[in-house]
Amino acid sequence: MSEVTEGATRAGFVALIGEPNAGKSTLLNRMVGAKVSIVTHKVQTTRTRIRGVAMAGQSQIVFVDTPGIFRPRRRLDRSMVAAAWGGAADADVIVMLIEAHRGLTEGSQAIIDTLRERFPQGARIALAINKIDRVQAEVLLALAQKCNEAFPFVETFMISAEKGYGVEKLRDWLAAEVPAGPWFYPEDQLADLPMRMIAAEMTREKLTLRLHEEIPYQLTVETINWVDQPDGSARIDQVVYVARDGHKGIVLGAKGETIKSVGTASRAEISEFLGRKVHLFLEVKVRPNWLEEPERYSEMGLDFKDGNPQG
């Protein structure tokens, strides 16, 4: 299947999709484990699109957010759906969850219809029938067959995210399925990753508040350095990336006042979150084509072409 020699690393993005309540968060938490889970209340209410990172052998599996894929009934819902599908379109592997006891519902069928539209060549999409603890085995087999008639899933897993049944098998499959390549996050940063991202998200939030959407979608913040000091404080260096030269001036503000007040507000919030003193250093850099760069995946936010999904 691959030309990779033993011991080579793999890394890729995985999107968990499914109706609300299908068990996506439960599954994510089980695969990622508390240590590198970044599912916090704070982050969930923002645009952060990375939900967590799981290590399995030599593979790094980065879970991207799909905040509830469902049929847009109201106009307001459309941006949420777009965001969800954006995550899915950029993923290397998609896992669709359905609930064993509910079967192939109208909602799941609608997701399958969209999958067929968006991924006509049947990309790497697997099916995970979740909550198998709630049904009899015969029901499961019939359901698996029905789903596979509806869509050519590359693989079908029977799992219970809550009890842990089948989860390891799914994770190992994902680990083998993500492309060969270097990890997106160095292993020694993995434990810190949630905090690095939360801190970056806090700064991005302050920027958004102060800039009043003057620079929509094209701004990311990355924590590039985090050093715990002997006195218990933390030194945090962040870079604010903007897409155009003209944006740099806006972010800096007259005499650097905007970035200064952003830094002050963000430092206070990070410090409160951590419960210790923080020294925050912000730098603004122009990176014209970051939206198109593959390396953008390693950034916070994971925006897709002005927020529109591709695929």
Backbone angles phi, psi at 18, to 5 degrees: 155, 170
Instruction: Judge whether 133 is annotated as a binding position.
Output: yes
Q: Of the two residues 133 and 272, which places its CB atom closer to ligand GTP in the complex?
A: 133
Q: For ligand GTP, which residue of 21, 46, 156, 308 counts as binding (CB under 6 A)?
A: 21
Q: Of the two residues 68 and 103, which places its CB atom closer to ligand GTP in the complex?
A: 68
Contacts 24+ apart (CB under 8 A), 181-184: 181/9, 181/10, 181/11, 181/12, 182/9, 182/11, 183/9, 183/11, 183/60, 184/11, 184/53, 184/60, 184/62, 184/297, 184/298
Q: Of the two residues 18 and 263, which places its CB atom closer to ligand GTP in the complex?
A: 18
Contact 250, 294 (CB under 8 A): no
Q: Report if residue 25 touches ligand GTP, rule: CB under 6 A.
A: yes
Q: Report if residue 87 touches ligand GTP, rule: CB under 6 A.
A: no
Q: Of the two residues 42 and 248, which places its CB atom closer to ligand GTP in the complex?
A: 42
Q: Report if residue 20 touches ligand GTP, rule: CB under 6 A.
A: yes
Q: For ligand GTP, which residue of 77, 113, 133, 283 counts as binding (CB under 6 A)?
A: 133
Q: Report if residue 218 touches ligand GTP, rule: CB under 6 A.
A: no
Which of 95, 79, 91, 78 lies closest to 30 in space, CA to CA?
Answer: 95
Q: Which string of x and - marks every residue 59-78 that binds ligand GTP (by CB under 6 A)?
A: ---------x----------
Instruction: Judge whether 18 is annotated as a binding position.
Output: yes
Instruction: Judge whether 308 is annotated as a binding position.
Output: no
Instruction: Judge whether 169 is annotated as a binding position.
Output: no
Instruction: Judge whether 61 is annotated as a binding position.
Output: no
Q: Of the two residues 23 and 301, which places its CB atom closer to ligand GTP in the complex?
A: 23
Q: Of the two residues 159 and 243, which places its CB atom closer to ligand GTP in the complex?
A: 159
Q: For ligand GTP, which residue of 155, 162, 192, 237 counts as binding (CB under 6 A)?
A: 162
Q: Report if residue 160 touches ligand GTP, rule: CB under 6 A.
A: yes
Amino acid at residue number 308 = N
Q: Report if residue 30 touches ligand GTP, rule: CB under 6 A.
A: no
Instruction: Judge whether 84 is annotated as a binding position.
Output: no
Q: Report if residue 23 touches ligand GTP, rule: CB under 6 A.
A: yes
Stretch near ligand GTP under the rule CB under 6 A, chosen from 136-144, 159-167, 238-246, 276-284: 159-167
Q: Report if residue 40 touches ligand GTP, rule: CB under 6 A.
A: no
Q: Report if residue 130 touches ligand GTP, rule: CB under 6 A.
A: yes
Residues marked as binding for GTP? 18-25, 65-69, 130-133
